[in-house]
Amino acid sequence: MKNRILIAAGLLVIILLGVFASMNIDSIISDSMKFKKEYEGVNGTTYHDKKIRNVSIDVKNKIKYLTPKELLEKIDNDESFVVYFGFKECPWCRSIIESLISVSNDSKVENLYYVDVKEIRDTIELDNNNKLKVTKKGTDEYYELLKRMDNVLTKYNITNKENEEIDTNEKRIYAPNIVSFVEGKAIKMETGISKKETDPYMELTKGMTNYTKNTFKCLFKCVEDSIGTCTKDNMC
């Protein structure tokens, strides 16, 4: 009888192990660990034939993944929060992400929301006749976000062969874009990129890093204090 119980228990353990092994690991780890794994996972690889900057993500980060639909719901609910738009291979994102997480961790804001913008946005290019052509359509949620964030976003311009900028007549969520929302209203957007950082692959100086952190501190303070405008006079 004892042997049968042991055999049954052994079979149950094997079955349970098989179930757990078949589960997607991302579904059973925290968002902070998922983000760390995602961003550090491309360290040492290349993007557009250039070596990706290595980053070290704090395991105690406040990252919380959002779908575009979930973000729109937060806006409709008049919530106050900070959201980071980017993607793991983005060279500019990787130059500011460690500073962004550091500032987020020191702030009173509960979460730093993250939307991977790479797959949801559109792409517009110039054809051989210098005519604008949509080569990739954005999602419905992406276009809705453009409307909700119109006041803080910048224009989407395309540079032609003559080095002239062509206006696409729409704005764009670039990467990185970090946006503060107060009571459902987008009130300020920053990239955190210093003007002295002319190449996303260059070595960052202390001055560049300090600029990035101070810029992000203003965004988080807007949300902490529920202030509807972020200006140097009342925030920084």
What is the Cα Rg of the chain in Å? Answer: 22
Assess whether 63 and 154 both reside in one domain.
no
pLDDT of 24 above 50 = no
Assess whether 131 and 193 both reside in one domain.
no
Whole-structure pTM value: 0.85
pLDDT of 231 above 90 = no
Assess whether 94 and 195 both reside in one domain.
yes
pLDDT in tens, 64-96: 999 999 999 999 999 999 999 999 999 999 999
Q: Which residues are registered as beta bridge partners of 86? A: 116
pLDDT in tens, 170-197: 999 999 999 999 999 999 999 999 999 9
Please give the backbone phi and psi of residue 186, each rounded to the nearest 5 degrees, phi first: -70, 120
Report residue 128's pLDDT band, with 50, 70 and 90 as the boundaries: confident
First-to-last alpha carbon distance for the chain, in angstroms, is 74
Q: Could you give the 3-state DSSP secondary structure of residue 151? A: coil
Range of the domain at 37: 26-118+175-225
Instruction: Using alpha carbons, select from 209, 6, 26 the residue that is nearest to residue 217.
Output: 209
Assess whether 132 and 66 both reside in one domain.
no
Provide the domain count of the chain.
2
**Mean pLDDT, rounded, for 152-176:** 92
Assess whether 129 and 112 both reside in one domain.
no
Any domain includes 21: no
Any domain includes 1: no
Any domain includes 11: no
**Cα distance between residue 16 and residue 21, in whole Å:** 9
Name the residue type at position 39.
Y
Any domain includes 231: no
